[in-house]
Structure 1
Amino acid sequence: MAQTYDLLLKGGHVIDPANEIDGIRDVAVTGNTIAAVAPDIPSAQARKTVDMSGLFVVPGLIDLHGHTFGPDVSLFPDDTALVTGTTTLVDCGGPGWKTFDEYKEKIVDRAKTRVLTFINIVGGGMHDEDNVADMEPDKTAAKIMQYPDLIVGIKNAHFGGMGWVSVRRAVEAGRLSGTPVILDNHILTKYDRDTRTKLLDILRPGDMHTHFYNDRQVEVISRFSGKVQPYMLQARKRGVLFDMGHGAGSFLWPVASRAMAQGFPPDTISTDLHGQSIFTTQSDMPNCISKLMNLGMGLQDAITRSTVSPAKAIQRFPELGTLGRGKAADIAVLKYEEGVFPLKDAWQKKLMATKRVRCVLTVRNGEIVFDEDGLAFPLWTEAGDYDKIP
C-alpha cells in the first residue's frame, strides 16, 4: 500500500468545532497541511504513525495575547508557545509602526511559531505608552496595510493619562485599516474613565477588551448587586468581544467565578504570557483552559474559545482554528487528567482543582515540534542501528 501520508495521528478523540467533529478520528498530514480526518485510516498509508489513544487532538491553540518583543519581560515564542500546544501567538502591542521591521526580523522571521501582531498605537511600541504625540493613526494604519498577513489589529494599553485620547486614536487606526482594536485600559477614578463609556460609546463591534476578569480594567460584576453589569450584556450584544488575558494581574478567582456562574465567559482564552507571569501564575494556554473548566466550562467549549473564536476575532478563519482538509497542519494534543491540582490566579490565590489538561504533543506546519512523553519515539531497544544518523 502506498504511503500517502507523512504523519498519522491515530485513534485520538478529535475536537474540531469548526467542522463539528467531537469523537474518535484519525488525523493524517501530508507536508504542511491536513490531508484527512476520518475513522480508521490504515497505518500502512503513513510514513509515521503515532498512537493517540486516550488523548484529545485539537487544532493548534491560538493565543491572542502574548509578549515577544519590547520590555524586559518579553519571551521568545518558541520557548513558551509550542510546548503548550500554541501554534499561533499574537504579540499584543510590543512593536509600534516605528519598530515593527526590527521586531519582524528578530522575532517573527526566526520563530517556528506563527507570530501575528496587534501593533501598538504608540509608534515606538510598548515602552512609551503615555506619549500621545507618538500616537499616529495614519502611520499605524499604513504599517498594517504594508503587512496585512502579519498585523491583525491595534493594541492600546497602559495609558496613564486622562480620558480617552489613546483609545480614540487606536479606534481611528482600526477604522483606517479595517482591523480590530484590543484594549488594555484602567478605569481607576484618577484617569476619568469608566467601563460603560468605552464599551458602549467608543469600541466598535469586533473590537476586544482584554483582561476582563480584572475589575481594575472592566467592572464586570457590580459591587452592589453582585450581578453582571447590564452594560456588559449590552456590549456583548452589540459585538464587543471580551478576552481573558490572564497575565500577572488580570485573572481573579472571585471575579471569574461569579461571571462564569452567571453565564458570562470570555469570548477568547488568552494568556498575557510574559516574564512576570510564566512561572508565578500558571497562565499558559492549557492552564487557562483548565481554570475555566474548573469554573464550569466544558472542554469542547474551551477548545472553541481557544481556536475558532480567536481565529474569527483576528479575521483569520477558516485559514486558522480548524483541522479542515487542506488547512495548515497545526495540531495540539492534550491529555485530560483528574485528581487534585492547585491552580493559581493572578493575585496569588489558589483553587484546588479536580481536573486539568496539559499538552503532550504539538505539530506545527506538519512537523512534530514538541513531544513531552515521547509518543512518536520508538523504544531504543527496537529502534535499530544507532550508527545510522536519523
Structure 2
Amino acid sequence: MKRWPLLFLLISLCLQLRAQDLDILIKGAYLIDAKNGIRDSMDVGVLAGKIARVAPQIASGDAKKVIDASGLILSPGLIDLHTHLFVGSQARTFADGFSSVSPDNFSFRSGITTMVDAGTSGWRNFETFKKNVIDASQTRVLAFLNIAGTGMSGNPDQENLLDMDPEKAFETLLQYPDILVGIKIGHFTGPEWTPFENALQAAEMANKPLLVECHLPQYTLAQQLEKMRPGDILTHSFEEIEERMPIVDEQGMLRSFVKAAYDRGILFDVGHGGAGFWFSQAIPAVQQGLTPHSFGTDLHRFSMNSGMKNMLNVMSKFINIGMEVNDVIERASWQAAQAIKRTDLGHLSEGAVADLTLLKLHEGEFGFIDAGANKIEGKYKLETELTMKGGKIVYDLNGLAAKKYTY
C-alpha cells in the first residue's frame, strides 16, 4: 500500500510533462491561413520546429512559452517572390556584386521567411551564389535561374546569346530542384527571340514557371504574354514605361490582351523595385479587377531606399488602394508558395514547418510613394511584430516573447 503515493506522484509528474507538450504557444491572434480557409481568432502551438496544434483555445499550461498576440494578425511566413541577393565584391553588378543585398538584413524584420532571387545568377555562377549566400543565410533563399549563363552580370556578358543554353540551365535545375524554382528572362535589349524561347524551353523541360522581367523593349507586352503559359509570372506588372507598354492605356483602361492573359492563368507579380510600380497603373488595374498574385519587392541596394521600402510597405499600398487585408496577406503567403510550386510553405497546417509572422495593422495617417515620386495618403499600414522561422523566433520588435525585466 505504501507504493500508492509514489505511484500517484509519478502519474502526476507524467501528466505535467505531457501537459507542457508545446515549445511555444501563440494565443489570441487573428489567423489568416488561405490553404485551410481560416480567417478567425485561433491559438497556434509549435513543437520541434513544426506547427503542432491549431485550435480556438489551447490551454496556456500546455506550453513552455506563451505569447499573447491579442489584437495582432497571425500569418504564415511571407514570401518575397522577387529579390536580388547574390551580394559580392563586384562593384557595378548584381551577380556577385554590390547592387544585390544580404537576405538576413532585410527578411525577418519585414515578416519574410522565404526570399526568391529573381535570376541574379545563371548556370555558370549559381554554385557561387549557393555557397556564398544561400547556404550562409538563415532566411530560406530560393531562386529563379537566369537563362543568361552569368546571370545579371552586366553587358555584354548578360546579353551573350551563345551563353543562353537551355540544356545547361535545365541540368542546373535538375541538380538543385529544392532551391531553383524556375527560369528567368529579362534585361535583354536585342531584337532576337532566342533568349525568350530558350528560357521557355528550359522551363518547360523542368516543369517550372518562367519569370518574365519585362526589360525587353524589342518585344511588345502583347507578344510576351502570348508566349507565356498559365502559371508563368510577369513581374514589374504595374510599371509605366512607354516602350514596355503599360498594362493600362492612356484612357486608364486595362488593355484587353492583359485581361485575357490574366484570365487564362498568367500570374502578375508587383516587382516594385526602383522603377517598377506606378499608382497610375496599379489603381485603375485594381479597380478593374486585376489584383497582383504576389508582392515581389525587387529588393536591391537602390529600391529599398526609394519608394519601395519593404514588402509590407508594398502590401500596405494595395490595402490603401482598395484590396482587403485578408486577400493581400493570403497572396503574400499561400498564393506566392503556389506560384513557385512550393506548397510545403505558405500555410499553418498541423505538421507544416513553423514559419509564421505576427503583424500589426496600424490605423493612422500614412504616406506611400511610387516609382515616379508620386504620393498617396492612406489609413492603414502593416508592421511586423514577430517573425518565426522553423519554430525559432528570429525577430521580435517589442519583446512579445522576451522575459520582462524589472528594475
**TM-score (structure 1 length as normaliser):** 0.94
* 1:330-389 C-alpha deviation (Å, 9 max, x unpaired): 00110001111111112222111111111111000000000011111122118xxxxxxx
User: Aligned partners of 2:34 and 2:195: how far apart in 1?
Assistant: 36
Deviations 1:128-187 (A, max 9, x none): 321111100000000000110000001111111114222111101101211111011235
Partner of residue 25, structure 2: 8
Is 1:180 the equivalent of 2:206? no
C-alpha distance in structure 2 between counterparts of 1:184 and 1:108, whole Å: 22
2:193 — aligned with what? 164
Distance apart, 1:210 and its partner CA? 0.2
Whether contact under 8 Å (1:159, 1:185) holds in the other structure is no
Q: Residue 235 of structure 1 is aligned with which of 261, 273, 276?
A: 261
* Residue 149 (structure 2) pairs with residue 132 (structure 1): no
Match of 1:27 among 32, 35, 44: 44
Secondary structure of 2:341's counterpart equals coil
Q: Percent identity?
A: 39
CA separation of 1:242/1:159 partners in 2, compared to 1, >3 Å: closer, same or farther?
A: same
- Kept after mapping to 2: 8 A contact 1:88/1:115: yes
Is residue 90 of structure 2 the alignment partner of residue 61 of structure 1?
no
Residue in structure 1 matched with residue 248 of structure 2 by the alignment? 221
Letter in 2 for 1:248: G
Give 1:387's aligned residue. Answer: none
Aligned match for 2:119, one of 93, 97, 101: 93
| In 2: Cα distance, 1:378 partner to 1:366 partner | 18
Unaligned runs of 5+ in 2: 1-15, 87-94
- Structure 1 stretches of 4+ with a deviation exceeding 4 A read none
| Structure 1 CA distance for aligned equivalents of residues 211 and 233 of structure 2 | 5
Q: Is residue 142–residue 177 contact of structure 1 (8 Å, CA) maintained in 2?
A: no
Q: Write out aligned runs for 1:202-217 (5 A).
A: 202-216=227-241, 217=244
Q: How many residues align?
A: 376
How far apart, in 1, do the equivalents of 2:303 and 2:246 lie? 22
Question: C-alpha distance in 1, partners of 2:283/2:318?
Answer: 9
Q: Is the 8 A contact 2:149 2:158 kept in 1?
A: no
Match of 2:60 in 1: 43
Q: Counterpart of 1:269?
A: 295
User: Structure 1 residue 218: deviation in Å?
Assistant: 4.9
Question: Superposition RMSD on alpha carbons, in Å?
Answer: 1.2
Secondary structure of 2:239's partner?
coil
Deviations 1:102-121, CA, capped at 9 Å, x for gaps: 11111111111110010110
CA distance in 1, matches of 2:192, 2:42: 53
Tell me the CA shift for residue 282 of structure 1: 3.2
- CA offset digits 1:14-37 (Å, max 9, x no partner): 111111111111111001110111
Higher mean C-alpha displacement, 259-268 vs 160-169:
160-169
Bigger shift: residues 350-359 or 161-170: 161-170
- After superposition, residues 1-390 of structure 1 pair within 5 angstroms as 1=16, 2-69=19-86, 70=95, 71-127=97-153, 128-186=157-215, 188=217, 191=218, 193-200=219-226, 202-216=227-241, 217-223=244-250, 225-317=251-343, 319-381=344-406
Looking at structure 2, the residues matched to 75 and 234 of structure 1 have their Cα atoms a distance apart, in angstroms, of 36
Whole-Å separation in 2 of the counterparts to 1:366 and 1:259: 38
Aligned to 1:386: none
Letter in structure 2 aligned against 1:27: V
Secondary structure of 2:305's counterpart equals coil
Question: What SS class does the counterpart of residue 385 from structure 2 fall into?
Answer: strand
| In structure 2, C-alpha distance between the alignment counterparts of 1:218 and 1:75, rounded to whole Å | 29
Distance 2:146 2:291 in 1: 26
SS at match of 1:170: helix
Cα contact 2:147–2:165 (8 A) shared by 1: yes
The question of whether the paired residues in 1 share the 8 Å contact of 2:272 and 2:308 is answered with no
Q: How far did 1:208 drift?
A: 0.8
